[in-house]
Chain A
Amino acid sequence: MTALIWRDVRRYYAGGGATLLVGFFLLVATLFPFAIGPDATLLARVGGGVIWAAALLAALLPVERLVAPDLDAGVIDQLVVRGRTPAMIALAKVAAHWLAFAPPLLLATLVAAALLDLSAEQLLLVLAGLALGTPGLAALAVATAALTAGVRGAGAVAGLVMLPLAVPLLIFGAGALAGEGGGLQLLAATSLVLLVGAPVAAGAAIRAALE
């Protein structure tokens, strides 16, 4: 399991995935000041929400590369023959995807917060929210990747599958920023539900893709 997680993480960073992700995330975050104007108070007010939306889109970015290439290359076949269940493989992929995209994303958030003129306490709330929400996002991304593996134009379909399911994370994440009580707890709970459910769904999808 550890070797499998490490393999995916290494391939992601070696393939330049982290640079791509940070670049994309910061680009989306800088689009908003252009779109709504340079009003600092307005930017500071919407900044946290902007970061959450950008994080959601960034998590979606590598979905096509999470499961489909391993199915095509016969890697999943080899793992199943060695007695690893598809759900275990999916769980390893969730852990690997989180290790690959959450640390660069949290670092990039520091830059985005400066661009959007976020206060220190807002930044802390965003970072705490992302730390709690990204495991759920990673689980969702792997489930989406497994469900859309082998589908033509998987990238576009993946967006349609994943973004609606990510709405609860967005609502609770942004809700915590607005100072609503229990936002972070609800976010953690949603993340946990996704972490338990998504590998099972992804495992079933991988099993179906093997047939």
Chain B
Amino acid sequence: MTLLAARGLAVARGGRLLAEGVTLELARGGAALVTGANGAGKSSLLRVLAGLLAPAAGTVERFGRVAWMGEAAALDPERALADALRFWAAQDDVPAADTRVAAALAAVALEDIADVPVRLLSTGQRRRAALARVAAASAPLWLLDEPASGLDAAAVARLELLIEGHRGGGGAVVVATHQPLALPDATEVAL
């Protein structure tokens, strides 16, 4: 079953054409790796796939809910980590927000600092927290923009494990990154 279908996409930013002719189809268990130099349009392509940016040409279809991990963490700095995540889990329109957040925190090994305010987290911890929000959304399609930036080796391994588990459970993922990341059988989209 297809989760994402993009046909003949062209991505433009500020009137400048960054990429064109991008065609991508992801079924359950699928993965795509978007690579390219800085400024090649990786983030813009992901924003188009997420529906945050209108494509300059072509069409995008998403089947089912989407979990988005952008550059910003989108977690209220003054709230405890678990509360900030629960806010988003409650917005997801799926039941059992508390359970999903607890499981996601354990998956990124942040359960020990669940009651620490977000503003006190380090860059890497904030990145893992954003990843926990994605995991807690229990959405079939994950769109991750530079998920490994700021992560140490152990956290990158956990990220790979998390993605593997998601794909094993019938989900699909699109990752934009300039860092090496093990994504077995991923379709590569080079910009």
Query: Is A211 a contact of B72 with CB atoms below 8 Å?
Result: no
Tell whether A72 pairs with B72 under 8 Å between CB atoms, given A77-B52, A81-B52.
yes
**Other-chain residue from B67, B74, B91 in contact with A73 (beta carbon distance below 8 A):** B74
Query: Is B71 a contact of A74 with CB atoms below 8 Å?
Result: yes
Residues of A within 8 A of B90 (CB): 3
CB-CB contacts below 8 Å: B94-120 with A: none
For residue B22, give the distance in angstroms from its CB to the closest CB of chain A.
Answer: 18
For residue B81, give the distance in angstroms from its CB to the closest CB of chain A.
Answer: 15
When chains A and B are docked, how far (Å) is the Cα of A3 from the Cα of B83?
A: 12
Asked if A19 is at the interface (CB within 8 A of a chain B CB), the reply is no
**Which A residues are within 8 Å of any B CB, using their own CB?**
3-4, 7, 11, 14, 72-75, 77-82, 210-211
Residues of A within 8 A of B133 (CB): 78
Query: Is A73 a contact of B72 with CB atoms below 8 Å?
Result: yes
Query: Could you list some 22 contacts between A and B, CB below 8 A?
Result: A3-B90, A3-B91, A11-B76, A14-B78, A73-B74, A73-B75, A74-B72, A74-B73, A77-B52, A77-B72, A77-B74, A78-B88, A78-B91, A79-B91, A80-B51, A80-B52, A81-B52, A82-B92, A82-B93, A210-B53, A211-B53, A211-B54
Residues of B within 8 A of A79 (CB): 91
Query: Is A11 a contact of B78 with CB atoms below 8 Å?
Result: yes
Residues of B within 8 A of A74 (CB): 70-74
Query: Is A7 a contact of B87 with CB atoms below 8 Å?
Result: yes
Asked if B50 is at the interface (CB within 8 A of a chain A CB), the reply is yes
Asked if B31 is at the interface (CB within 8 A of a chain A CB), the reply is no
Residues of A within 8 A of B72 (CB): 72-74, 77
Residues of A within 8 A of B53 (CB): 210-211
For residue A100, give the distance in angstroms from its CB to the closest CB of chain B.
Answer: 15
Tell whether A81 pairs with B50 under 8 Å between CB atoms, given A73-B72, A74-B72.
yes
Tell whether A210 pairs with B52 under 8 Å between CB atoms, given A3-B87, A7-B76.
yes
For residue A9, give the distance in angstroms from its CB to the closest CB of chain B.
Answer: 13
Residues of A within 8 A of B65 (CB): 82
When chains A and B are docked, how far (Å) is the Cα of A79 from the Cα of B51?
A: 12
For residue A63, give the distance in angstroms from its CB to the closest CB of chain B.
Answer: 20
Residues of B within 8 A of A11 (CB): 76, 78
When chains A and B are docked, how far (Å) is the Cα of A142 from the Cα of B72?
A: 22
Asked if B66 is at the interface (CB within 8 A of a chain A CB), the reply is yes
Closest to A74 in B: B72
**Other-chain residue from B54, B75, B91 in contact with A82 (beta carbon distance below 8 A):** B91
Closest to A1 in B: B91
When chains A and B are docked, how far (Å) is the Cα of A68 from the Cα of B20?
A: 31
